[in-house]
Amino acid sequence: MEKTMMWGGINLQWAYTDLLGYIRFKVACPHVAKDILHDAFIRYTVSTSANKGQEPHAYMRSIAKNLIVDAYNSSQRFVSLDADMGLSREWLEAPTLSVEQLNDIKQRLETIQAILEQLPPRCRQVFWMYRVEGHTQAEIAAALGISKNMVERHVMRAIIDLSSARELIAND
């Protein structure tokens, strides 16, 4: 009997097989698919929506769908070289993850969540607006009524805290 790994109401086996497979099918690039899944986890983590607790998988899937649309819109500015490079559809196959891999993913997500929760509210808000919503530093400064320099400091603090955690995880 396989043990179910849960994180924040999300079954990690489902996320890294079914949801990632769905995302891979839509974007056809494993690297972009994983980026979208990880961005979806971050958005899920910092979301305060009531839907999050009622139907976590449906909410996570809707976040992923929105990110897929964003990725598509962004990709329209670039020329794809996939056909020229002879890339195959093998990338669409969903990976099989072991319990150890899922446990590792869960621990990493919990570490990221803990770090984001420890950031001061304004720092967390600026980081969210910059890294997740894609606002420019000037837009954030204008929206929050702070200097661009302060926006840069908030973003750097969040990145440094997350980088420090990454180094700790890598050394474990």
CA atoms 26, 28, 30, 31: torsion sign: negative
Percent of the chain with pLDDT over 90: 22
Q: Find tokens 């964003």 and name the residue.
A: 70
Gap between the Cα atoms of 146 and 101, Å rounded:
42
Q: Find tokens 């606002």 and name the residue.
A: 135
In 28-81, which ranges are continuous DSSP H helix?
A: 30-46, 51-54, 56-75
CA atoms 24, 26, 32, 38: torsion sign: negative
Gap between the Cα atoms of 142 and 136, Å rounded:
10
Determine the pLDDT at residue 13.
87
When the candidates are 3.90.650.10, 1.10.10.10, 3.40.50.150, 2.30.30.240, the CATH number that belongs to 119-172 is 1.10.10.10
Are the beta carbons of 95 and 20 closer than 8 angstroms?
yes
pLDDT tens, position by position, 2-34: 567 877 788 888 888 899 989 998 887 888 899
Q: Is the pLDDT of residue 1 over 50?
A: no
Determine the pLDDT at residue 141.
94
Gap between the Cα atoms of 23 and 16, Å rounded:
10
**Rounded to two decimals, what is the model's pTM?**
0.51
Phi/psi of residue 7, each to 5°? -145, 115
**Domain limits of the chain?**
7-96, 119-172
* Residue from 101, 95, 147, 106 nearest 126 by CA: 147
